[in-house]
Amino acid sequence: MSKIYSTASLALEGVLEPDMIHLPGIYVHRIVQGTHEKRIEQRTTRARAPAAAYAA
């Protein structure tokens, strides 16, 4: 079974201590660094409620 994950940044080799990483049962076979721009998939905005609405 394959899974694909996305991350904002990659740590350089040797920066993370191996004993500090706890990922039981997860093995990485391949890392691919893309060159594309990460865009916002869906932007949702709404007007803020007046401050009086929060006072209860």
pLDDT of residue 28: 75
pLDDT band for position 54 (50/70/90)?
Answer: low
pLDDT of residue 41: 72
DSSP label at 53?
Answer: G
Task: Pick the closest to residue 8 from 28, 45, 37, 29 (CA basis).
Answer: 37
- For 3-46, write each residue's pLDDT tens digit: 777 777 788 888 988 888 877 666 777 888 878 777 767 777 77
DSSP label at 49?
Answer: P
Task: Pick the closest to residue 33 from 48, 11, 56, 54 (CA basis).
Answer: 11
pLDDT of residue 53: 61
pLDDT of residue 49: 74
